[in-house]
Amino acid sequence: MVILSKGDHVWLEPETKGEFNVAIGGRVKFTQSGKIQVIDDDGKEVWLDGKTQIKHMHPTSVEGIEDMIGLGDLNEAGILRNLFTRYMENLIYTFTGSILVAVNPYQVLPIYTSEQIKLYSDRKIGELPPHVFAIADNSYYNMKRYRHDQCIIISGESGAGKTESTKLILQFLAAVSGHHSWIAQQILEANPIMEAFEMPRPLEMTILVDLKSRIVNQAHDERNYHIFYCMLAGLSADERKQLDLKDATHYYYLTQGGDINVEQRDGGKEFADIRSAMKVLTFSDAEKSGKYSKFCLFYFILEI
Ligand SMILES: Nc1ncnc2c1ncn2[C@@H]1O[C@H](COP(=O)(O)OP(=O)(O)OP(=O)(O)O)[C@@H](O)[C@H]1O
Ligand SMILES: [Mg+2]
């Protein structure tokens, strides 16, 4: 039996069991002679009868915590509520040990300034509040300290913020490695290449599409991956001939969405940028030109 007083935080078990149903938090608003009223995290008033399963909430869940390893209620509900309460305060980053969880804020937050870069530079992970810069800093200094290549794995569903996070990490690395250095230039040149392989998003998050199916299926008004259009617009006539490629209108996978043009985008110019970025990033000439092995791959996809 749970004895509750006004102001207590509790977990309310979901009424029905299901894969996505987890307990949510609530706060006791009123108790009197066996009657208990709770306001849940969604702001809903719930009257508890004897049947509703409730549990006291651990203080770490009440206050929220920067590193979820320390959560007293270490379960799915605890993790989700922690992320939710932090998100409501615009705290989009949370650690779980050395893993950083980022919740997409869908707004520009003032947390990526050069002051923040300086602040996070050369710190131990966990010394400062969770931030994508803390991860970038950790990799950079581990690379310098141990002279070992480092790798940051960024995972999440479409629209979660993987590309934005990658750009922020690159921004951090470019800044700490010295503004005019060759490395900084290489880092920044990664952007056009990343953008070319970006998922086109004209309908901005209104549809969730399996990434693998994106190459062969597009909805109305959608384009395929940008690199296809760039490549076809930017290869010289000779190169196109060498690869036996035709223009974009010839390929069903590029035109099934309807329009192959995107306003204010010059595929030919972008392809030139991609090529020069590949040069700065020292993609070998054999890869970049000659047999165009990377581009040959796209060619085969188009010909499927
Ligand atoms: N840290 C952030 N701050 C502000 N806005 C963000 C942040 N992360 C993501 N966003 C917003 O969310 C949008 C989608 O993010 P992003 O393009 O990084 O997703 P993604 O995970 O790369 O998706 P996909 O798998 O489809 O490529 C961005 O265009 C941006 O508007
Ligand atoms: Mg992306």
Residue 157 marked in a binding site: yes
Residue 25 marked in a binding site: no
Which pLDDT score is estimated for 277? 75
Phi, psi of 126 (to 5 degrees): 95, -15
21: which 2 tokens?
Answer: 């149903």
Atom of ligand 1 nearest to the CA of 167: 18
- pLDDT, tens digit, for every residue of 238-262? 888 887 888 777 887 777 766 656 5
Between 220 and 107, name the one with better pLDDT. Answer: 107
Atom of ligand 1 nearest to the CA of 168: 1
Does residue 111 line the site of ligand 1, with CB under 6 A?
Answer: no
Could you give the CA distance from residue 195 to residue 148 in angstroms, rounded to a whole number?
28
Does residue 195 line the site of ligand 1, with CB under 6 A?
Answer: no
CB atoms within 10 A of CB 128: 15
On whether the CB atoms of residues 55 and 43 are closer than 8 A, the answer is no
Could you give the CA distance from residue 201 to residue 222 in angstroms, rounded to a whole number?
8
Does residue 215 line the site of ligand 1, with CB under 6 A?
Answer: no
Mean pLDDT of 182-187: 73
Mean pLDDT of 224-248: 81
Which pLDDT score is estimated for 204? 41
Give the DSSP per-residue string, 43-71: S-EEEE-TTS-EEEPPHHHHH--SBGGG-
Which pLDDT score is estimated for 302? 56
Separation of CA 9 and ligand 2 centre (Å): 38
Residue 161 marked in a binding site: yes
* pLDDT of residue 116 exceeding 70: yes
Could you give the CA distance from residue 84 to residue 104 in angstroms, rounded to a whole number?
11
Mean pLDDT of 3-25: 89
Separation of CA 103 and ligand 1 centre (Å): 10
Determine which of 41-50, 135-144, 286-295 has the lowest per-residue pLDDT on average. Answer: 286-295
Give the DSSP per-residue string, 211-222: HHHHTT---TT-
Could you give the CA distance from residue 136 to residue 160 in angstroms, rounded to a whole number?
18
Phi, psi of 2 (to 5 degrees): -110, 125
Which of 51-60, 119-128, 224-233 has the highest mean predicted lDDT (pLDDT)?
A: 119-128
SS3 100: strand
Considering only CA atoms, which residue is closest to atom 9 of ligand 1? 161
Atom of ligand 1 nearest to the CA of 166: 18
Amino acid at 149: D
Give the pLDDT band (50/70/90) at residue 298: low
Mean pLDDT of 44-54: 82
Between 218 and 60, name the one with better pLDDT. Answer: 60
Among residues of the chain, what percentage have pLDDT more than 90?
44
Q: The tokens 């002679």 sit on which residue?
A: 33
Separation of CA 164 and ligand 1 centre (Å): 5
List, in order, residues 6 or more apart from 70 with CB less than 8 Å away: 60
Separation of CA 160 and ligand 1 centre (Å): 6
Does residue 163 line the site of ligand 1, with CB under 6 A?
Answer: yes
State pTM to two decimals. Answer: 0.73
Integer Rg of the chain from CA: 25
* Nearest CA among 82, 61, 80 for reference residue 22: 80
Atom of ligand 1 nearest to the CA of 205: 14
- The β-bridge partners of 102 are 93
Which pLDDT score is estimated for 256? 72
Atom of ligand 1 nearest to the CA of 154: 21
On whether the CB atoms of residues 139 and 152 are closer than 8 A, the answer is yes
E strand or H helix at 25, and its extent?
strand 24-32
Determine which of 179-183, 259-263, 265-269 has the lowest per-residue pLDDT on average. Answer: 259-263
Q: Of the bound ligands, which one is closest to the alpha carbon of residue 201?
A: 1
Q: The tokens 């299901």 sit on which residue?
A: 18
159: which 2 tokens?
Answer: 């629209």
Average pLDDT, rounded, for the chain: 82
Residue 50 marked in a binding site: no
Does residue 106 line the site of ligand 1, with CB under 6 A?
Answer: yes
Give the pLDDT band (50/70/90) at residue 186: confident
Separation of CA 237 and ligand 2 centre (Å): 31
Q: Is the dihedral of CA 231, 233, 238, 241 positive or negative?
A: positive
Among residues of the chain, what percentage have pLDDT more than 70?
79
Between 200 and 195, name the one with better pLDDT. Answer: 195
Between 130 and 232, name the one with better pLDDT. Answer: 130
